[in-house]
Amino acid sequence: MQKHIVIIGSGVAGLSAAVRLGAAGHKVTVVEANDYVGGKLTAKMIGRYRFDLGPSVFTMPHLIEELTKISKQDAKFEYLTLDKICNYFYEDGTTLTAYPDKEKFATEVQNKLGETKESVYEQLKYSATAYELTGELFMEQSLHKLSNFLNLKTAKAILNIGKLKLNKTMNDVNSARFKNKKTVQLFNRFATYNGSNPYKAPAIINIISHLEHNIGAFAPKGGMHDITMHLYNLSLKLGVEYKMNTRVTQIITKNDTAIGVETSNGEIKADIIVSDADIKHVYTKLLDKKYYPTKILSQEKSLSALIFYWGIKKEFKELSLHNMLFSDDGQKEFNCVFGDKKPYHNPSTYINITSKVTPTDAPEGCENWFVMINVPHNTSGQPIEYVQEMRKHIVAKINRVLKTDIEQYIEVEEVLDPYLIEQRTSSAGGSLYGNSSNNKYAAFLRHANNSSKIKNMYFCGGSVHPGGGIPLGMLSAKIVSEMIAEKN
């Protein structure tokens, strides 16, 4: 039976939900506060340079192919398979390239960091096993439905629970496996993919490295924004309606049932509401306070980011698409960001350069640098004061590690910080992934994909189950669409 479904927000999860629900025959209206779709997954021209403004890592392309197939359209999403996952740079001059080929990567780690090849193989096997045992259970279905636990896959996971090392942190497992702190720092960094602290996050978060090192690393041919535009175009052809520059101000409920939304441009009635907005924003701004889930929303928030978009008038041959300049001390850095709630003075600095794979993103002989460090989410609600101080630290680090004078090559610059992220996306304090996974319960018990108190109210996106990032956002939309199909 056709329903009128209103989706709040057009991030990657909202767009994915629009495709799935539109393909299922529902009337779908997406309400978006901005004048563009995609949420964090958007792009911008700055002078002569094109930049993806948000997520930069692309894994699990089959999820996009699945959405294309569901839409029954003659459309193709084009992407490249990377021959390098990431280039790593350490303060003492050590450099290392992570290759998708396991043998080549293990040899590189052995030669550069003094580990045994076997330890690398064991690490990759561990992350693969964790994915095999829990991936489908954890990532592709609701953890809040008892029926989802009554199956053979769950039984197998429980029987092999010792392999998952649930009582250990990521750092515990990685430190036990590797003798070199540099190797530990390399594998610990995957905690930041969902905004967490590897010294607190459970070991199972190592599952994230499986996506790149065992499944593969990829790049959309036209940049990350191609993901947004592909899903948007699929949804348009399915008849999905978009109301842009329209902010939802209230989710209307009657007798604990969602019946529509009040917006800056009037009321929209609906049979079902799907929210792709940050869960804290929904409960503090859009719903009656009686629905507020205190326990979940009091959990520690994820990391945010400080990003500089630089048009660079030079080519750096030693850099590739993904590059990481590590801090001098990983533990001090995470203690500073999560404990002291301030950026670290010598931060791990990630540089993404899409012109390496899409040359038209920068003029000939130039590069478009997306330069990012991890910072705490913003609790003050006020503009960020440390931007220029951290810029000096970042410039000094790049100059030191790459042996350059980067200032002379910066042609254009724009900045994105936690305050601006919150302004543009309504994410609490600019946190990129909702709650962090800094304890074994938070990693699994994120907010459910439906409301237990409000009928016909559903949730997708990075702040709910199964978590943040493009693949998990798309999977949250899949879970929601299946829940709606079951009840209608």
Instruction: Quick: pLDDT tens for 80-136.
Output: 999 999 999 999 999 999 999 999 999 999 999 999 999 999 999 999 988 887 766
- pLDDT, residue 149, reads 46
What DSSP element (H or E) covers 482?
helix 470-487
379-410 per-position pLDDT tens digit: 999 999 999 999 999 999 999 999 999 999 99
Q: Is residue 455 included in any domain, yes or no? A: yes
Q: Which tokens go with 218? A: 């990829």
Q: Which tokens go with 287? A: 């719903």
211 shares its domain with 230: no
The secondary structure of 165-207 as a DSSP string is TTTSBHHHHHHHH-SSHHHHHHHHGGGGGGT--TTTSBGGGGH
Range of 155's domain? 105-215
Q: Is residue 434 included in any domain, yes or no? A: no
Whether 422 and 429 have beta carbons less than 8 Å apart is answered as yes
Domain edge (last residue) among 215, 245, 276: 215
- pLDDT, residue 171, reads 97
463 shares its domain with 482: yes
244-281 per-position pLDDT tens digit: 999 999 999 999 999 999 999 999 999 999 999 999 99
193 shares its domain with 247: no
186 shares its domain with 273: no
Q: Is residue 336 included in any domain, yes or no? A: no
- pLDDT, residue 442, reads 59
114 shares its domain with 189: yes
176 shares its domain with 226: no
Q: Is residue 252 included in any domain, yes or no? A: yes
Domain edge (last residue) among 198, 215, 232: 215
- pLDDT, residue 163, reads 61
193 shares its domain with 161: yes
396/407 Cα distance (integer angstroms)? 10
157 shares its domain with 110: yes
- pLDDT, residue 10, reads 98
The CA angle 253-142-21, to the nearest 5 degrees, is 60
Q: Is residue 259 included in any domain, yes or no? A: yes
113 shares its domain with 186: yes
DSSP E strands in 314-366: the ranges are 322-325, 349-352
For the packed helices 117-139 and 170-177, what is the interaxial angle rounded to 10 degrees?
Answer: 160
- pLDDT, residue 146, reads 47
Q: Is residue 34 included in any domain, yes or no? A: yes
Q: Is residue 70 included in any domain, yes or no? A: no
Q: Is residue 136 included in any domain, yes or no? A: yes
Domain edge (last residue) among 215, 241, 268: 215
152 shares its domain with 167: yes
Whether 67 and 474 have beta carbons less than 8 Å apart is answered as yes
89/161 Cα distance (integer angstroms)? 35
120 shares its domain with 199: yes
Residue 20's CATH number: 3.50.50.60
Q: In the chain, which residues have pLDDT < 70?
A: 135-164, 440-445
Which DSSP symbol is given to 315? -
Alpha carbons within 13 A on the beta-carbon side of 120:
25
- pLDDT, residue 151, reads 54
- pLDDT, residue 222, reads 93
Q: Where would I find the H helices in 202-327?
A: 207-210, 225-237, 279-281, 294-297
Q: How many domains does the chain have?
A: 2
139 shares its domain with 230: no
426/429 Cα distance (integer angstroms)? 8
